[in-house]
Amino acid sequence: MKYVRFHTITIISGLLLVGACRPAAPPVTPQPATKPAVKPIDLTPRVVPQPASLTRGTGAPFVITATTGIVVDAGAGQVQPIGETLAMLLRKSTSFPVLVSQAGGTAAPGTIRLRLANDRQSLGEEGYELTVASDSVVLVAYRPAGLFHGVQTIRQLLPSAIESEIGLERDWAIPALTIADQPRFPWRGGMIDVGRHFLTVREVQQFIDLLALYKMNVLHIHLTDDQGWRIQINSRPRLTAVGSLSQMGGGPGGFFTQQDYTDIVRYAQARYITVVPEIEMPGHSWAALTTYPELTCKPRPPDPYTGPDLGWSALCPDKEVTYAYIDDVIKEVAAITPGPYLHIGGDEVASLSDSQYVKFIGRAQDIVNKYGKVMIGWEEITKAKLKPATIAQMWKSDSVTAALSYGSKLILSPATHAYLDMQYTPETELGLHWSGYVEVRDAYDWNPATFAPGLTESNVLGIEAPIWGETVRNIGAVNYMSVPRLPALAEVGWTPQAGRDWDSFRSRIAAHAPRWRYLGVNYYPSPQIPW
Ligand code: ACM
């Protein structure tokens, strides 16, 4: 309420000055009319990722009050839920009613207006334009995803307390400004590994919330590994009945029913995030092989595996039963995945010959395509002949030349910058360090378009931040490994290179810590950030 109070005091001091002119009045000390009664709140925008263009206005801020409403375009069915999302965020912390209404024409003063504009194609699939003045907030996009991202910007322009679950009294002010924003790359992802340690549906949704706050648009779920199988396959019930009962280091494991998975997909869709399921093959497949030992080339006792070794297990590329099995699995996973992609892993296969591996990847690619999906695999798949639409995910070395020779685009997840399962420093408890330590600045300071010879702005599809699950057992650990590195990588993927600056990032992200505390998000208090 400080802005209201400020105006009230200005008026009162004006009255006092008027009063001072009357002869009978006692002497009063004139008050400077413009001096605020209270320290003004800091309205510096600290948006992450940094918008492509942001111009501060000179006028007063927009202040959300008990009469503020949200107006959405009449007839645009996808705008209403985005308006409701914003209203729900505002209602819980402000305790104001924040009504959402549909209207055409110009919005009444004091409203936040969300509008889809057919003639703003230049904003692309995810861009938006935000204009904030003292009497209105106008958010325009060409597509709903742009409106959703713009709402995240409005959220970050408001005080951190906007994230509170209980009503608080604050100056709910948004600084006057104009933002024109759209992402640098179309793919900005995070990956979680429920194969090593299972996470619940709610935990996965909490990770989705974090992705959404930082305008990321892909959730890659690594659903199977040597240590556990985590997705129900109706035609192969033993995969979960047997293969889900283990996890790394021992413990109960777990799995998602197809309904659970659909709940995750829907939750992500409502936040304009595409779910990419990964069914790991031919390696990292021991949990499946304990239930179908006939699918190995070299049988061994089908005991659950809970250790850390990798590279040793593989489906047998020389047996037709192997392809019948992956057909069954891919068919069902494709059917419950509305997004266009299916990830087959393909990494770290030490127990097959190159010719066996190449044969397997070619057959897997055909099966993924048969069920209408684009295949993605870790960079090792570039040993096989890829179709141009197939996507390689780089993580360690120079697979760029091979990928580009097929016309494939690349997702960049270099372990030295983007692996969120690496320790921040030797002192941080969780994580591994086989690719080195990844402090926040390491996650931030690299340029995807020049990262390796042959890469350009247009053959990079985007970036993705994997959190492998060896040491990560719950959402508290996921968040600690993600924050603040995931926001740093979100900015790598979103903001034009010329608009990125480490000193700017570190001062902006420092201001997000109170927001994470309201949200209950655990984070690493890096000494590189001026908290
Ligand atoms: C990987 O880290 N094995 C993709």
**pTM across the whole model:** 0.92
- Can you give the pLDDT at residue 501? 98
Picking from 502, 425, 525, 519, the residue whose alpha carbon sits closest to that of residue 89 is 519
- Can you give the pLDDT at residue 300? 87
Ranges of H-type helices in 220-371 = 238-241, 258-269, 286-291, 320-335, 354-370
- Can you give the pLDDT at residue 10? 31
Q: Phi and psi of 71, rounded to 5°? A: -110, 125
CA of 380 to the centre of ligand 1 (A): 10
Domain locations in the chain as residue ranges: 53-181, 187-519
Ligand 1 atom 1 nearest Cα: 347
- Can you give the pLDDT at residue 301? 87
385-432: pLDDT as tens digits:
999 999 999 999 888 999 999 999 999 999 999 999 999 999 999 999
If one residue of 395, 411, 435 were mutated to test the ligand 1 pocket, choosing by the most ligand atoms within 8 A of its CB, it would be: 395
Ligand 1 atom 3 nearest Cα: 347
Angle at 184 between CA 180 and CA 189, to 5 degrees: 115
| CA atoms of 217 and 464, how far apart (whole Å) | 10
Count of beta carbons in the 10 Å neighbourhood of residue 516: 19
| CA atoms of 20 and 14, how far apart (whole Å) | 10
- Can you give the pLDDT at residue 19? 31
- Can you give the pLDDT at residue 13? 33
Q: Residue 105 has which token pair?
A: 């024409």
The verdict on whether 294 is a catalytic residue reads no
| CA atoms of 109 and 68, how far apart (whole Å) | 9
Dihedral of CA atoms 430, 231, 289, 361 in degrees, nearest 10, equals -90
Domain spanning 53-181: CATH 3.30.379.10: yes
Top-level class of domain 187-519: alpha beta
Mean pLDDT per 10-residue interval, the chain, length 531 residues: 31 32 46 57 94 97 96 86 97 97 73 95 98 97 97 98 95 97 98 98 98 98 98 98 96 96 98 98 97 93 92 96 98 98 97 97 98 98 96 92 92 98 97 97 98 94 98 97 98 98 98 98 98 97
175-199: pLDDT as tens digits:
999 999 999 999 999 999 999 999 9
CA of 238 to the centre of ligand 1 (A): 26
Which residue carries 């590195």 as its tokens? Answer: 485
Residue 197 burial (10 A CB sphere; 0-12, 13-18, 19+): buried
CA of 392 to the centre of ligand 1 (A): 12
DSSP 8-state secondary structure symbol assigned to residue 469: S
| CA atoms of 460 and 224, how far apart (whole Å) | 27
Picking from 376, 377, 489, the residue whose alpha carbon sits closest to that of residue 422 is 489
Q: Phi and psi of 101, rounded to 5°? A: -130, 160
> b or e along 312-321 (b: 16 or more beta carbons within 10 Å of the residue's beta carbon)?
bbbbbbeeee
User: Exactly one of 84, 203, 348, 470 is catalytic; which is it?
Assistant: 348
